[in-house]
Amino acid sequence: MHGVIPKGTADPTAGDCQSSEPSAPGATISLVGIIASEVTASLLVALHGRTALGMLSGAVGIAIALGWLRRYRRHADAVVSDQIETAKRLLDEGSHLTAWNMASAAANSAAGPLLRNAALTVLARIALDEGRYQIARRALRRMRPRWAADPCLEAAIERADAGADQAIEALERARSWPTFDGAAARLLIELCGEANDLDRAARIAIAHLDLLEIHDVRNMIASLTDWGEPHHAAAVAMALTLRLAGAGRQVRLSESPGPSRD
Protein backbone atom coordinates (compact mmCIF):
# COMPACT_ATOMS: atom_id res chain seq x y z
CA MET A 1 0.00 0.00 0.00
CA HIS A 2 1.52 3.31 -1.07
CA GLY A 3 0.66 7.00 -0.80
CA VAL A 4 -0.66 6.99 2.76
CA ILE A 5 1.90 9.51 4.06
CA PRO A 6 0.30 12.98 3.91
CA LYS A 7 1.39 14.67 0.66
CA GLY A 8 3.47 17.82 0.94
CA THR A 9 4.93 16.72 4.22
CA ALA A 10 8.04 18.82 4.76
CA ASP A 11 8.61 17.81 8.35
CA PRO A 12 8.82 14.07 9.03
CA THR A 13 7.17 14.62 12.39
CA ALA A 14 4.10 16.17 10.74
CA GLY A 15 0.95 14.09 10.74
CA ASP A 16 -2.81 14.39 10.61
CA CYS A 17 -3.30 14.26 14.34
CA GLN A 18 -2.20 16.97 16.72
CA SER A 19 -0.18 15.96 19.72
CA SER A 20 -1.44 16.95 23.15
CA GLU A 21 0.45 17.21 26.36
CA PRO A 22 -0.44 14.31 28.65
CA SER A 23 -2.02 15.29 31.92
CA ALA A 24 0.17 14.40 34.86
CA PRO A 25 -1.33 12.67 37.89
CA GLY A 26 -1.77 14.88 40.96
CA ALA A 27 -1.16 18.12 39.06
CA THR A 28 -3.96 20.07 40.82
CA ILE A 29 -2.92 18.90 44.29
CA SER A 30 0.72 19.75 43.60
CA LEU A 31 -0.18 23.22 42.32
CA VAL A 32 -2.27 23.94 45.42
CA GLY A 33 0.61 22.78 47.63
CA ILE A 34 3.12 25.02 45.81
CA ILE A 35 0.86 28.08 46.06
CA ALA A 36 0.11 27.43 49.74
CA SER A 37 3.82 27.10 50.53
CA GLU A 38 4.68 30.33 48.71
CA VAL A 39 1.85 32.26 50.39
CA THR A 40 2.87 30.92 53.79
CA ALA A 41 6.48 31.90 53.21
CA SER A 42 5.51 35.42 52.20
CA LEU A 43 3.23 35.88 55.24
CA LEU A 44 5.85 34.59 57.68
CA VAL A 45 8.42 37.04 56.38
CA ALA A 46 6.08 40.02 55.97
CA LEU A 47 4.05 39.76 59.18
CA HIS A 48 6.42 38.15 61.63
CA GLY A 49 9.87 38.71 60.15
CA ARG A 50 10.57 34.99 60.44
CA THR A 51 12.96 34.67 57.55
CA ALA A 52 14.16 31.18 58.45
CA LEU A 53 10.64 29.77 58.60
CA GLY A 54 9.79 31.61 55.40
CA MET A 55 12.79 30.07 53.64
CA LEU A 56 11.81 26.63 54.96
CA SER A 57 8.29 27.02 53.67
CA GLY A 58 9.62 28.18 50.31
CA ALA A 59 11.92 25.15 50.17
CA VAL A 60 8.92 22.90 50.77
CA GLY A 61 7.18 24.55 47.81
CA ILE A 62 10.24 23.96 45.61
CA ALA A 63 10.42 20.32 46.70
CA ILE A 64 6.74 19.85 45.82
CA ALA A 65 7.32 21.44 42.41
CA LEU A 66 10.34 19.26 41.65
CA GLY A 67 8.48 16.14 42.73
CA TRP A 68 5.58 17.03 40.47
CA LEU A 69 7.93 17.67 37.54
CA ARG A 70 9.54 14.24 38.01
CA ARG A 71 6.15 12.54 38.12
CA TYR A 72 5.01 14.50 35.06
CA ARG A 73 8.15 13.52 33.12
CA ARG A 74 7.73 9.83 33.98
CA HIS A 75 4.06 9.93 33.00
CA ALA A 76 4.77 11.79 29.74
CA ASP A 77 7.60 9.41 28.82
CA ALA A 78 5.33 6.42 29.47
CA VAL A 79 2.66 7.87 27.17
CA VAL A 80 5.20 8.54 24.39
CA SER A 81 6.73 5.08 24.79
CA ASP A 82 3.28 3.50 24.43
CA GLN A 83 2.68 5.56 21.28
CA ILE A 84 5.95 4.35 19.76
CA GLU A 85 5.22 0.70 20.52
CA THR A 86 1.73 1.08 19.07
CA ALA A 87 3.17 2.70 15.94
CA LYS A 88 5.61 -0.20 15.52
CA ARG A 89 2.80 -2.73 15.83
CA LEU A 90 0.64 -0.83 13.34
CA LEU A 91 3.56 -0.65 10.91
CA ASP A 92 4.08 -4.40 11.15
CA GLU A 93 0.36 -4.87 10.49
CA GLY A 94 0.55 -2.65 7.40
CA SER A 95 -1.51 0.23 8.84
CA HIS A 96 0.90 2.87 7.56
CA LEU A 97 -1.26 5.98 7.93
CA THR A 98 -2.29 5.27 11.51
CA ALA A 99 1.28 4.28 12.38
CA TRP A 100 2.56 7.52 10.80
CA ASN A 101 0.17 9.67 12.82
CA MET A 102 0.98 7.84 16.03
CA ALA A 103 4.75 8.10 15.52
CA SER A 104 4.44 11.77 14.55
CA ALA A 105 2.58 12.51 17.77
CA ALA A 106 5.27 10.68 19.74
CA ALA A 107 8.08 12.60 18.01
CA ASN A 108 6.34 15.91 18.73
CA SER A 109 5.68 15.07 22.38
CA ALA A 110 8.98 13.40 23.31
CA ALA A 111 10.94 15.45 25.83
CA GLY A 112 14.26 13.67 25.40
CA PRO A 113 16.34 12.49 22.45
CA LEU A 114 16.04 8.77 23.18
CA LEU A 115 12.27 8.59 22.67
CA ARG A 116 12.29 11.20 19.91
CA ASN A 117 14.89 9.18 17.99
CA ALA A 118 12.83 6.02 18.42
CA ALA A 119 9.78 7.79 16.99
CA LEU A 120 11.78 9.22 14.09
CA THR A 121 13.10 5.73 13.34
CA VAL A 122 9.52 4.48 12.96
CA LEU A 123 8.74 7.42 10.65
CA ALA A 124 11.78 6.59 8.52
CA ARG A 125 10.72 2.94 8.28
CA ILE A 126 7.22 3.94 7.17
CA ALA A 127 8.59 6.35 4.58
CA LEU A 128 10.94 3.63 3.30
CA ASP A 129 8.07 1.18 2.92
CA GLU A 130 6.12 3.87 1.06
CA GLY A 131 8.99 4.68 -1.28
CA ARG A 132 9.23 8.25 0.09
CA TYR A 133 12.99 8.21 0.37
CA GLN A 134 13.58 11.93 0.91
CA ILE A 135 11.15 11.95 3.82
CA ALA A 136 12.90 8.88 5.24
CA ARG A 137 16.26 10.64 4.98
CA ARG A 138 14.90 13.79 6.65
CA ALA A 139 13.57 11.72 9.54
CA LEU A 140 17.01 10.21 10.16
CA ARG A 141 18.75 13.58 9.80
CA ARG A 142 16.57 15.00 12.59
CA MET A 143 17.95 12.46 15.04
CA ARG A 144 20.27 13.81 17.72
CA PRO A 145 23.03 12.95 17.99
CA ARG A 146 23.31 12.11 14.30
CA TRP A 147 25.12 8.83 14.99
CA ALA A 148 22.09 7.54 16.90
CA ALA A 149 20.53 6.49 13.58
CA ASP A 150 20.45 2.81 12.65
CA PRO A 151 23.16 2.30 9.97
CA CYS A 152 21.28 -0.66 8.46
CA LEU A 153 18.12 1.43 8.07
CA GLU A 154 20.08 4.24 6.44
CA ALA A 155 21.73 1.73 4.09
CA ALA A 156 18.33 0.24 3.22
CA ILE A 157 17.05 3.70 2.25
CA GLU A 158 20.08 4.40 0.08
CA ARG A 159 20.00 0.97 -1.54
CA ALA A 160 16.31 1.25 -2.39
CA ASP A 161 16.67 4.75 -3.81
CA ALA A 162 20.18 4.95 -5.28
CA GLY A 163 21.61 1.42 -5.38
CA ALA A 164 24.14 -0.76 -3.58
CA ASP A 165 27.07 1.62 -4.05
CA GLN A 166 25.32 4.37 -2.08
CA ALA A 167 24.35 1.85 0.58
CA ILE A 168 28.01 0.87 0.93
CA GLU A 169 29.03 4.51 1.26
CA ALA A 170 26.38 5.10 3.91
CA LEU A 171 27.70 2.17 5.94
CA GLU A 172 31.28 3.33 5.45
CA ARG A 173 30.36 6.72 6.92
CA ALA A 174 28.76 4.98 9.87
CA ARG A 175 31.75 2.76 10.73
CA SER A 176 32.89 5.14 13.48
CA TRP A 177 29.42 5.43 15.01
CA PRO A 178 28.61 3.68 18.31
CA THR A 179 25.50 2.27 16.59
CA PHE A 180 27.63 0.45 14.01
CA ASP A 181 27.10 -3.10 15.27
CA GLY A 182 27.51 -6.66 14.05
CA ALA A 183 24.48 -6.44 11.78
CA ALA A 184 25.86 -3.31 10.09
CA ALA A 185 29.32 -4.85 9.67
CA ARG A 186 27.84 -8.04 8.20
CA LEU A 187 25.66 -6.04 5.80
CA LEU A 188 28.63 -3.97 4.64
CA ILE A 189 30.69 -7.12 4.02
CA GLU A 190 27.82 -8.73 2.11
CA LEU A 191 27.34 -5.65 -0.08
CA CYS A 192 31.05 -5.53 -0.87
CA GLY A 193 30.96 -9.23 -1.71
CA GLU A 194 27.97 -8.72 -4.03
CA ALA A 195 29.95 -5.93 -5.72
CA ASN A 196 32.84 -8.40 -6.17
CA ASP A 197 35.09 -6.18 -4.04
CA LEU A 198 36.46 -9.08 -2.01
CA ASP A 199 39.59 -7.26 -0.92
CA ARG A 200 37.47 -4.56 0.70
CA ALA A 201 35.18 -7.16 2.24
CA ALA A 202 38.13 -8.99 3.82
CA ARG A 203 39.62 -5.76 5.20
CA ILE A 204 36.30 -4.77 6.74
CA ALA A 205 35.89 -8.21 8.29
CA ILE A 206 39.33 -8.03 9.87
CA ALA A 207 38.77 -4.47 11.12
CA HIS A 208 35.43 -5.36 12.73
CA LEU A 209 36.15 -8.92 13.75
CA ASP A 210 35.06 -8.18 17.31
CA LEU A 211 31.54 -7.32 16.06
CA LEU A 212 31.04 -10.47 13.99
CA GLU A 213 29.82 -13.89 15.08
CA ILE A 214 32.48 -16.59 14.81
CA HIS A 215 30.32 -18.79 12.58
CA ASP A 216 29.80 -15.85 10.19
CA VAL A 217 33.57 -15.35 9.95
CA ARG A 218 34.14 -19.06 9.30
CA ASN A 219 31.47 -19.03 6.59
CA MET A 220 33.23 -16.07 5.00
CA ILE A 221 36.57 -17.90 5.05
CA ALA A 222 34.96 -20.91 3.36
CA SER A 223 33.31 -18.68 0.75
CA LEU A 224 36.55 -16.86 -0.03
CA THR A 225 38.28 -20.21 -0.50
CA ASP A 226 35.52 -21.46 -2.80
CA TRP A 227 35.72 -18.26 -4.85
CA GLY A 228 39.42 -18.75 -5.48
CA GLU A 229 40.63 -16.11 -3.02
CA PRO A 230 43.04 -18.11 -0.80
CA HIS A 231 45.06 -15.05 0.24
CA HIS A 232 42.03 -13.19 1.55
CA ALA A 233 40.75 -16.36 3.19
CA ALA A 234 44.11 -16.88 4.91
CA ALA A 235 44.20 -13.26 6.14
CA VAL A 236 40.74 -13.50 7.70
CA ALA A 237 41.55 -16.94 9.16
CA MET A 238 44.72 -15.58 10.78
CA ALA A 239 42.81 -12.67 12.29
CA LEU A 240 40.21 -15.08 13.66
CA THR A 241 42.91 -17.32 15.13
CA LEU A 242 44.50 -14.36 16.89
CA ARG A 243 41.12 -13.25 18.21
CA LEU A 244 40.33 -16.69 19.62
CA ALA A 245 43.81 -17.00 21.11
CA GLY A 246 43.43 -13.62 22.80
CA ALA A 247 40.02 -14.56 24.17
CA GLY A 248 41.38 -17.86 25.52
CA ARG A 249 44.27 -16.05 27.20
CA GLN A 250 41.87 -13.65 28.93
CA VAL A 251 39.77 -16.56 30.20
CA ARG A 252 42.84 -18.29 31.63
CA LEU A 253 43.97 -15.10 33.35
CA SER A 254 40.53 -14.55 34.88
CA GLU A 255 40.45 -18.13 36.19
CA SER A 256 43.99 -18.13 37.62
CA PRO A 257 44.26 -17.76 41.42
CA GLY A 258 45.44 -14.45 42.78
CA PRO A 259 48.84 -13.97 44.46
CA SER A 260 49.28 -15.67 47.79
CA ARG A 261 49.44 -13.42 50.86
CA ASP A 262 51.12 -15.95 53.14
For residue range 215-232, list pLDDT tens digits in order: 999 999 999 999 999 999
| 114 pLDDT higher than 60 | yes
DSSP state for residue 5 in the 8-state scheme:
S
Mean pLDDT of the residues in the chain: 82
Q: Which residue has the higher pLDDT, 214 or 71?
A: 214
Confidence (pLDDT) at 257: 63
Mean pLDDT value across residues 132-148 = 97
Nearest residue to 155 via CA among 117, 187, 201: 187
Q: Which residue has the higher pLDDT, 35 or 81?
A: 81
The reported pTM is: 0.75
Residue 171 lies in a domain: yes
Cα-Cα end-to-end distance for the chain:
75
Res 55: pLDDT: 55
Q: Could you tell me the CA-to-CA distances from 109 to 81, 113, 116, 233 in Å, in that order?
A: 10, 11, 8, 51
Which comes out higher in pLDDT, residue 14 or 122?
122
What residues have CB less than 8 Å from 108, skipping those under 6 apart?
Answer: 13, 19
Distance CA 152, CA 215 (A): 21
Residue 168, pLDDT score: 98
pLDDT of residue 15: 43
Measured distance CA(205)–CA(195) in Å, rounded: 15
Please check whether residue 260 lies inside any domain of the structure. no
Does the pLDDT value for residue 72 go beyond 60? Answer: yes
Q: What is the DSSP string of 195-262?
A: TT-HHHHHHHHHHTGGGS-HHHHHHHHHHHHHTT-HHHHHHHHHHHHHHHHHHHHHHHHHHSPPPP--
Domain assignment present for residue 211? The answer is: yes
Among 13-22, 57-66, 179-188, 214-223, where is mean pLDDT lowest?
13-22
Whether residue 174 lies inside any domain: the answer is yes
pLDDT score at 70: 74
> Quick one: average pLDDT of 257-261?
57
More confident residue, 39 or 208: 208
Q: What is the pLDDT of residue 44?
A: 44
Q: Is residue 217 part of a domain?
A: yes
Q: Identify whether 261 is part of a domain.
A: no
What is the reported pLDDT for 41?
46
Is the predicted pLDDT of residue 253 greater than 50, yes or no?
A: yes
- Indicate the residue type of 79: V
Tally of domains in the chain: 1
Range of the domain at 230: 158-255
pLDDT of residue 8: 46
Does 100 fall in a domain? no
Q: Quick: pLDDT tens for 148-165.
A: 999 999 999 999 999 999
Average pLDDT over residues 18-34: 48
- Look at residue 99 and tell me if it is in a domain: no
Question: How sure is the predictor about 247, in pLDDT bands with cuts at 50, 70 and 90?
Answer: confident
pLDDT > 70? residue 97: yes
Among 82, 89, 135, 150, smallest CA distance to 110 is for 82
> What mean pLDDT is predicted for residues 170-197?
97
DSSP state of 184: H
Q: What average pLDDT score do residues 127-146 get? A: 97
